[in-house]
Amino acid sequence: MIRALIRRLRPAAQPAPVPLPEPVSERGSPRDIGLLDAILDGWFRADSGELLKGFAIGADDTLLDVGCGEGVATLFAVRQGASVIFTDSELDKVRELARQVEAQSTRTNLGLVSNSLPLPLADGCASKVVCMEVLEHIDEPEPFMAELVRMGCPGAQYLLSVPAPVGEHLQKGIAPASYYQSPNHVQIFTPERFAALVEDAGLVIEHRQVNGFFWVMGMIFFWASERAAGRDLEGAVRDRIQAPYPPLMESWARTWQDLLALPDGPAIKQLLDQLMPKSQVIIARKPLQTASSTAEPLSGATPC
């Protein structure tokens, strides 16, 4: 049903951008429906090589994925033939991602366990820089953002995302207090503050969007289910929300799947995403500089 729904919601000439997890049941899990929701927002366009519409990755690119987590962006770039550099503060995540990258790529790649500033990377080492759902964890985001800009070569493109303030505020009172404490979310960015952070660092914004109503509600239902069951709510969210999902989350995923199948479903989704988004996304670019100011790229990385 999910594959059929993707075909209905996209032009017939375009294949689904990414394969859904196998096997796919008639009724998708929250993970399945979250993937479908992301595809409708322009993510994972394998047919055009765009991680997000407007952010294409090719074999000539070196992608730097800061705060890579499970490596969704890194593995997408590997499938496009790019060289990758990925960093995270958690050893287990870097080690597992390195294993997957090695199995899929013949390029020169690098995985680093680090949350320090500066990162041990050369100036201008990447032509594509991804930093998704990381800046909200940083006590001082301005120097962190400057470090991201340093590592992009002139003309490098950036894909950045942080939680939207509406969803963050709605979860207060039901999420545990630790959700808003280090090492979790210590910053809440208004759209204006997020844009200023990017522009003050010297980048030029090319595209902005919000998305993720599905996940705001999913998170709220997750917290409610955990509290009702008397379970401990401590721990990072991304590590806790996984199968088996609470029945309420499963029910919500089915409801969202049914909504997307309606003739007006995608239009309703867009309205709700604008009303109560989970994330805000910026695509930006580092301005071109004179040849004399171009830094030496990291050994093994493809220059811009």
pLDDT digits (tens, 9 = 90+) for 110-154: 999 988 778 899 999 999 999 999 999 999 999 999 999 999 999
Q: DSSP 3-state assignment of 87?
A: strand
Asked whether the predicted pLDDT for residue 163 surpasses 50, the reply is yes
Query: Could you tell me the CATH number of the domain that includes residue 34?
Result: 3.40.50.150
The residue written with tokens 């990414």 in the block is 18
Position 24 in a domain? yes
Which whole number is the average pLDDT over 259-271? Answer: 96
Position 304 in a domain? no
Position 46 in a domain? yes
Position 68 in a domain? yes
Asked whether the predicted pLDDT for residue 158 surpasses 80, the reply is yes
- Residues contacting residue 264 through CB under 8 Å, at least 6 positions apart: none
Q: How many domains does the chain have?
A: 1
Q: Which structural domain range is residue 48 located in? A: 2-288
Alpha helix ranges (H) inside the chain: 2-9, 30-40, 72-79, 91-104, 141-151, 165-171, 191-200, 213-228, 237-240, 247-261, 265-275
Position 297 in a domain? no
Q: How confident is the model at residue 241 (pLDDT cuts 50, 70, 90)?
A: confident
Position 295 in a domain? no
Position 299 in a domain? no
What single-letter DSSP state applies at residue 60?
T
**pLDDT at residue 152, as a whole number:** 97
Position 300 in a domain? no
